[in-house]
Amino acid sequence: MTAEDLQSGHIFLLDKPLDWTSFQAVNKMKYKLKREFNLPKKFKIGHAGTLDPRATGLLIVCCGKFTKKIPEIQDAPKEYWTEIKIGVQTESYDTEKPEILHQDISHITEEQIKNALEKFVGEIDQTPPVFSAIKIDGKRAYDLARAGEEVEMKSRKTTIHYINEMKIDLPLVSFTVGCSKGTYIRSLAHDIGQELGVGAYLTQLRRTKIGEYKIEDATSDFLENDFRFEIQQ
């Protein structure tokens, strides 16, 4: 790899660790590349699809002229390994906020859970979480929510292509979900809980695919302080 290669265009597949923001991961990559390849200040780099800090997995970073590919990659279908906990909720629909509204799940059967998940396959109306990066009147929804303001989120159409590889170990349920751009898996977890009548929230989320790109081809080595890219003279 040379500086010219990076300027001409390159795609990195990163395995984002837990509690890193997508912005932090890209900044780390940008710092290392600029330092090792002596790249100009205006070197272009960006990611093709945000992952929440509490999520791990595939983060695609485009460099140089390949930053033009970002919209195309963002539009591609996504796949996630998902774990939810039923019988309890959180305000954020994930582990960011503490558990609330505990409910008894002793009457919930595996058949009920399977039927509930199947109802969400296809085109659905989904309301994004209040704790999300969606802008309302120029402000992020999560900033308004954290400031204690009442936030009204509008529903939107999204598509769940499939839900499979289901495993049930109550109160935890895990599965793989394939979905369209703009799908909030946190909202899916919440909605599954509402369908069951006992609540649910997202406990783990790992992105495994974006279009043709797979997590098996990704690396997190770039985060190591002593990691160096292979430089071709």
**Active-site positions?**
52
β strands within the chain, DSSP E = 10-16, 45-47, 56-63, 78-86, 122-126, 135-136, 139-140, 156-169, 172-179, 200-210, 213-214
What's the chain's Rg over C-alpha atoms?
Answer: 19
Inter-residue contact 57 to 208 (CB < 8 Å): yes
- Tokens for 91, please give them: 């305000």
Contacts of 106 (CB under 8 A, 6+ apart): none
